[in-house]
Amino acid sequence: DRRRDSPAAGSPIQPIIKDVGEVYSRLLDHRPVIQGEIRYFVKEFEEKRGLRELRVLENLKNTIFETNERVLPKCEQAMQDNLSETFKRLQAANAMIHRLQEREYEARKLQADKVMAREEKCIAHWEEFMKEQQNKRAEVDEEHRKAMERLKEQYSDMEKELAKYVSF
C-alpha cells in the first residue's frame, strides 16, 4: 500500500534507492559483522579457556581466606608486640633526650653566668684601672705644674741675677 503512495513507486528511482540501501548496509552498517565477531570470541574463549579462570578464582579465594584467617592475625599480633616494645623504647629515648636537653640548658646557663661574671669583673677592673690612670695623670699634672713653677722661679731668679750683672 505504501509503494503505491510513495512518489518513487514504479519510477526509475526505485532501483537507485535499493542500490543505495545495499551500499549503506554493506559500508556503514557494522552491526552484523560486530555481532559475528563477538560470537566467535565468546565461542573461542569458552572452548580454549574452559574452567581455568574458575579454578584460578577459587585458588585466589582460598589464598585470601587463609590470609585473613591465619596470616593476618599473626601479623597483627607480631606488630602489636613489636609496636609495644618500640613504643617503650621511644619513650625511654625521649626521656633520655629530655634529660640531656635539661643538662645542656643548665650547662649553657652556667656558662653564660660565668661569662657575665667575667664581664662584670673585667668592667670593674677596667673602671678601677681608669680611675687609677686619672689619679696618676692628676699626680703627673700636679708634678708638672710644680716643676713649671720651680722652673719659673728659677728662671726669674736667674733673670734677677743676670740683671745684677748686666748693670756692670
**Could you identify the residue written with the cell 608486640?**
81
pTM recorded for the entire structure: 0.38
Nearest CA to 76 out of 65, 64, 68 is that of 68
User: Domain extents for the chain?
Assistant: 50-167
Instruction: Report how far residue 86's alpha carbon sits from residue 80's, in angstroms, rounded to the nearest whole number.
Output: 10
Least confident of 15-29, 107-121, 140-154: 15-29
Q: What is the pLDDT of residues 101-118, one digit of tens each?
A: 999 999 999 999 999 999
Q: Contact 17/8 with Cβ under 8 angstroms?
A: yes
